[in-house]
Amino acid sequence: MSHAPLAVPQNGTMEHHQEPGGSLFENGDCDLSRSLGRSRPTSIERNRSFDDRSFSELPSSDHYLDNSVFSPGRRSSSMGTPTSGFEPHPLMSEAWDALRRSIVSFRGQPVGTIAALDHSTEELNYDQVFVRDFVPSALAFLMNGEPEIVRNFLLKTLRLQSWEKKIDQFKLGEGVMPASFKVLHDPVRNFETLIADFGESAIGRVAPVDSGFWWIILLRAYTKSTGDTSLAELPECQRGIRLILTLCLSEGFDTFPTLLCADGCSMIDRRMGIYGYPIEIQALFFMALRCALLLLKQDEESRECIDQIIKRLHALSYHMRNYFWLDIKQLNDIYRYKTEEYSHTAVNKFNVMPDSLPDWVFDFMPSRGGYFIGNVSPARMDFRWFCLGNCVAILSCLATPEQSSAIMDLIESRWADLVGEMPLKICYPAMEGHEWRIVTGCDPKNTGWSYHNGGTWPVLLWLLTAASIKTGRPQIGRRAIEMAEGRLLKDGWPEYYDGKLGRFVGKQARKMQTWSVAGYLVARMMLEDPSQLGMIALEEDKQMLPQIKRSSSWIF
């Protein structure tokens, strides 16, 4: 596979990777599309456009899921004639227009969506296609029977993965996927090239750990939704999956199965005290491992990787379900912990000091309900509630069925705190004063109840809705969607809202933020047709019982 030579200024930080001359993509992509053309099913079952959709109420949860990666979602067949006088919400067509305006093309093909179409504020890197931001866009297109842009995106980012990645003189792992990329147009030669950012331009210079996981999750969503297995089966894709996971599965000094991360390596991409073992990454890691297991072919090249995945899944779910889980009983146990215990019999394994329990957590914890806390490492538990990690834990079945219901119970009973007047808090609570100063490094963008620090992010609506459908409680998603519908368009689809109740458009929020638009669309479409959930949620794996044994039922 060819690598784009990089222009690295001597002793300096590389600004961008730039593809020279463009030949890399022309040649490589031809190969990929040729093999795709050869093996792709002649007709991909097309989803009807949203406007044809019928309304359906959700009777139960897992009814809509099946673990098979190869069967297209049931949406088309089950969505025959409208069963009620359902009319699409008027906001839907506005949202579709906005989403279509955000499409980015490369040499005539749609390859992604721009992060924000807001020209009124400084652009920074919001004019790029972010991998994580594209996920809700991709889901919306898949649900609408438009898989091409998703396939192109998956192939383009796979190409970017094969670039040599260096920051100053330090080389990043082969499997690292970019945080974002951008199409450059050379008006003289009338030629387009791509540039990508693997963290070397990002604020804080952190590589996006979540990008690779989202890529695998999206590849499974594409495969599930279209029934087209040929893309995932391409040797390049199989290799891409293995490379991503190689970064996480190698043995080393780790004593925990969770993944050790730097601050700012995920959706929260600046210093916010999430370094260590953040829940967002652990949940995405678990989901990506399960998706990879469905996607990897059982051949010689993948055998070792598959074995490693299975072992890790067992260890990871055990660790998370036991040590990250907090409910009133667990809180009471920690409150009474002894410290300085030594040996295998220790109850307080990580030597957490009960004094480190923050006051707010005693009020926040309902009698019924629970959640995965933000982080667990030696003598440190971050008790904050993070939305994305908890929702992905439900969707991936990292949470047991009881834990999943408990998370939804908590959301319902702490609605005023977590949703307030606009869905949905990225984390709770915010840090203020001294704590904000120490933990964020005095970040003026992350002041209390703004942006990543307890800010409200409409994009999270799709995750809440998916989790609510998965747990058989779609009314939770519906309530949040209806609340958002009153404001999103009027406020210009902001990136985030500020304040304890989310009443104010964020201080530095972009308008026309694409994932706010797409997040809403996906949430609405899933609510109208819950069978869509299958592309982004997994069923509980009966094999995830204590015994580590692989059988074909892992795959089918």
- What is the smallest separation between the CB atom of 112 and ligand GLC, expressed in angstroms? 12
Stretch that binds ligand GLC, among 81-89, 129-137, 274-282, 397-405 (CB under 6 A): 129-137
Q: Is 115 in the site for ligand GLC (CB under 6 A)?
A: yes
Q: Does 271 bind ligand GLC (CB under 6 A)?
A: no
Name, in order, each residue with C-beta under 8 angstroms of 76's C-beta and a sequence gap of 6 or more: 45, 46, 47, 48, 145
Q: Which residues in the 285-324 window bind ligand GLC by CB under 6 A?
A: none
Beta bridge partners of 377: 380
The single residue among 19, 133, 409, 417 that binds ligand GLC, judged by CB under 6 A, is 133
Choose the binding region for ligand GLC from 72-80, 127-135, 282-290, 427-435 (rule: CB under 6 A): 127-135
Tell me how far apart the alpha carbons of residues 429 and 420 are, in angstroms, rounded to a whole number. Answer: 13
Kindly list the distances between the CA atom of residue 154 and the CA atoms of 131, 151, 215, 337, in Å, as whole numbers in the listed order: 10, 5, 7, 48
| Residue 535 CB, nearest approach to ligand GLC (Å) | 21
Q: How far is the CB of 133 from ligand GLC (least distance, A)?
A: 5
Regarding 269 and contact with ligand GLC (CB under 6 A), the answer is yes
CB of 204 to ligand GLC, least distance (A): 10
Which residues is 167 bridged to in the sheet? Answer: 170
**CA-CA distance, 460 to 120, in Å (whole number)?**
24
Could you say which residues in the range 169-198 bind ligand GLC, by CB under 6 A? none
Q: In this structure, what DSSP letter does residue 355 have?
A: G
Q: How far apart, in whole angstroms, are the C-alpha atoms of residue 254 and residue 174?
A: 21
Q: Which is nearer to ligand GLC, 200 or 269 (CB)?
A: 269
Of 261, 71, 228, 217, the closest CA to residue 148 belongs to: 228
Q: Which residues of 220-245 are buried (b: 16+ CB within 10 A; e: fewer)?
A: bbbbbbbbbbbbbebebbbbbbbbbb
| Residue 230 vs 508, nearer CB to ligand GLC | 508
Residue 298 beta carbon to ligand GLC: minimum distance, rounded to whole angstroms: 35
Q: Which helix (H) or strand (E) holds 474?
A: helix 474-485
Count of C-beta atoms within a 10 Å radius of residue 345: 7
Cβ nearer to ligand GLC, comparing 133 with 228: 133
Q: Which helix (H) or strand (E) holds 185?
A: strand 180-186
* Least distance (Å) between residue 353 CB and ligand GLC: 31
Identity of the residue, 471 or 513, whose beta carbon is nearer to ligand GLC in the bound complex: 513
Token readout for 491 is: 């406020």
Residue from 64, 96, 106, 130 binding ligand GLC (CB under 6 A):
130
Select the residue interacting with ligand GLC from 132, 156, 384, 473 (CB under 6 A). Answer: 132
Q: Which two tokens stand for residue 328?
A: 């009133």
Decide if 192 contacts 185 (C-beta within 8 A). yes
Give the residues across from 276 on adjacent strands.
261
Nearby residues of 363 by Cβ (< 8 Å), 6 or more positions away = none
| In the complex, minimum distance from the CB of residue 323 to ligand GLC, in angstroms, rounded to a whole number | 26
Q: Does 231 interact with ligand GLC (rule: CB under 6 A)?
A: no
Can you say how many angstroms the Cα of residue 175 is from the centroid of all Cα atoms in its chain? 18
The stretch among 14-22, 24-32, 125-133, 357-365 that binds ligand GLC (CB under 6 A) is: 125-133
- Residue closer to ligand GLC by CB (options 156, 312) is 156
Number of residues that bind ligand GLC (CB under 6 A): 7
Q: Which is nearer to ligand GLC, 271 or 312 (CB)?
A: 271
Closer to ligand GLC by CB, 290 or 452: give it. 452
Distance CA 61, CA 472 (A): 4
What is the nearest approach in angstroms of ligand GLC to the Cβ of residue 2?
29
Applying CB under 6 A, which part among 124-132, 147-155, 335-343, 538-546 lies near ligand GLC?
A: 124-132
User: What is the nearest approach in angstroms of ligand GLC to the Cβ of residue 340?
Assistant: 39
Candidate ranges 11-19, 128-136, 336-344, 402-410; the one touching ligand GLC (CB under 6 A): 128-136
Residue nearer to ligand GLC on the CB measure, 132 or 414: 132
CB of 425 to ligand GLC, least distance (A): 14
Q: Which H/E stretch holds residue 182? A: strand 180-186
The least CB distance from residue 347 to ligand GLC, in Å, is: 37
Residue 74 class from Cβ within 10 Å (0-12 exposed, 13-18 middle, 19+ buried)? Answer: middle
What beta strand segments (E) does 268-390 contain? 325-327, 370-377, 380-386
- Interaction between residue 498 and ligand GLC (CB under 6 A): no
Q: Least Å distance between CB 269 and ligand GLC?
A: 5
Site residues (CB under 6 A) for ligand GLC? Answer: 115, 126, 130, 132-133, 267, 269
